[in-house]
Amino acid sequence: MEHPNYLNINNLKITIFQAYLFWENTDKNLQNLALRLSMGIKEKTDLIILPEMFNTGFSMNAEALAEEMNGKTMQWMQQIAQKYECVVCGSLIIKENNHYYNRLIWMLPDGSFSYYDKRHLFGLGNEDKNYTPGEQQVIVDLKGWKIRLAICYDLRFPVWLRNKNQEYDILLIIASWPDKRSAHWNALIPARAIENQSYVIGANRVGHDGNEIYHSGHSQCIDPQGKTVYYKPEDEDLYTFSINYEEVVKTRRIFPFLRDADQFKII
């Protein structure tokens, strides 16, 4: 559905932090991330994106590392959002009602937030044995842009991410995606952008984790026609770029492919 006031929607400035993470060390990660942000953010941004489990690394040690929704990492996110007057997002391990979730937090400067619980749990890494899957698709609003939230392994499931009725403009995926499957990451992100006629932003981490799995980044932003806006392999990177809403509208007007999509329900 074309946004009725799209001419009033401004460009969005987005900052991806493709970070190195310290294994299962929340305090060290939060200190390091805050320091790197203070050194690296040179201009006003609307959104700072952190990787999956940015405060611990992608750990299955949920019982030891989980926090409550009023814990130190949530408080840290609010402080960062206030400091830079922007939204901050990333996932962490949350304990709620005796269940553990890989939960993406969408934190606003005023301390209000939305969240998305990872739907597809990575069986090869035993994530499904340690965490509870989410059941809700989540779309948030930022300055008129509709943004669909997703986490890592979700990228492999196009039905879950399908842009039904043109309900979102950006598909945002945070990840701890290993280097040995980077070819899949680099193929699937442009595919999701082209088939959903939306921007797709993938924010990954770099470095080895505690299981000696290497992550090579490849964070990127792909526009609705499959063209690269931002791409960074290998190195830690903190980068701000701008995206244009008119590109979404123009793509869907010239190529009205979404109108011909199949209708379906997810059970």
What residues are annotated to the active site?
52, 118, 152
Contacting residues for 261 by C-beta, under 8 A, at least 6 apart: 162, 164
Tell me the C-alpha to C-alpha distance, in Å, between residue 142 and each of 55, 88, 99, 182, 239. Answer: 24, 11, 30, 29, 19
Q: Considering only CA atoms, which of 11, 96, 98, 1 is closest in space to residue 47?
A: 11
Q: Where are the alpha helices (DSSP H) in 98-220?
A: 127-130, 158-161, 182-196
Q: Rounded CA gap, 10 and 209, in Å?
A: 38
Do residues 204 and 175 make contact, with C-beta atoms less than 8 angstroms apart?
Answer: yes
Do residues 34 and 73 make contact, with C-beta atoms less than 8 angstroms apart?
Answer: no
Q: Rounded CA gap, 54 and 36, in Å?
A: 13
Q: HSE of 94 in the Cβ direction (CA atoms, 13 Å)?
A: 23
